[in-house]
Structure 1
Amino acid sequence: MKNIKVLGSGCRNCEVTANVIAQAAKEAGVEIQLEKITDMAEILGYGVMSTPGVVLDGKVVHAGGIPGPDQVRTWVRD
């Protein structure tokens, strides 16, 4: 199971990012643990200065905007 965290204040882009990830995982038949992190100190701890950010299994893989569907599919499959 992949552990994915969406980092952000809870803005619309953060919600869309979380939904895109959940949908991609569902379509791929991959089980994930999806967590939304809104604590700014924790977000900055990952070095993310522009949200939404995405952390996959402890590693920042995206920051600053909604990731594209192809990019998300790659994350959940690999």
Structure 2
Amino acid sequence: MEEIKMKIQALGGCCKKSMQNYQNTMDAAKECGIEESVEQISDTNEILKLGVMATPGLVIDGKVVSSGKLLSVGQIVELINKHKA
């Protein structure tokens, strides 16, 4: 089985939605077998550098795929699978 290299960044601080976003992202990545690829970014300046104005957010391989809404595990799995293709 080919190893998938992917960088996933869950964006947001310590608010409830951002914490849930990180957990959902970890769960989705685990389901896809790439949980070691997930990084949480809570620094506001770093988030702004990525072009995200509202959190929670999600970045996959440098591309902002979600901003300002909490995604379900299933939605994140779909986004990961789209980027794998």
% identical aligned pairs: 38
Give the match's secondary structure for 1:49.
Answer: coil
Query: Is 1:44–2:48 an aligned residue pair?
Result: yes
Give the match's secondary structure for 2:37.
Answer: strand
Report the structure number with the largest CA radius of gyration.
2
TM-score normalised according to structure 2 size: 0.78
TM-score normalised according to structure 1 size: 0.84
Q: Which amino acid aligns with 1:61?
A: V
Structure 2 gap segments, 5+ residues each = none
Partner of 2:38: 34
Structure 1 gap segments, 5+ residues each = none
- Residues 57-78 of structure 1, C-alpha deviations (whole Å, 9 max, x = no match): 0111100021133321112223
Give the match's secondary structure for 1:2.
Answer: coil
- Larger strand percent: 1
- 1:75 and 1:32, CA in 2 relative to 1: closer, same or farther beyond 3 A? farther
Query: Is 1:57–2:57 an aligned residue pair?
Result: no
- Residues 24-75 of structure 1, C-alpha deviations (whole Å, 9 max, x = no match): 2222334541111111111111111110111100111100021133321112
Give the match's secondary structure for 1:6.
Answer: strand
Contact 1:30/1:76 (CA < 8 Å) preserved in 2?
no
Structure 1 runs, 4 residues or longer, greater than 4 Å off:
none
Q: CA RMSD, aligned part only? A: 1.6
**Whole-Å separation in 2 of the counterparts to 1:58 and 1:69:** 20
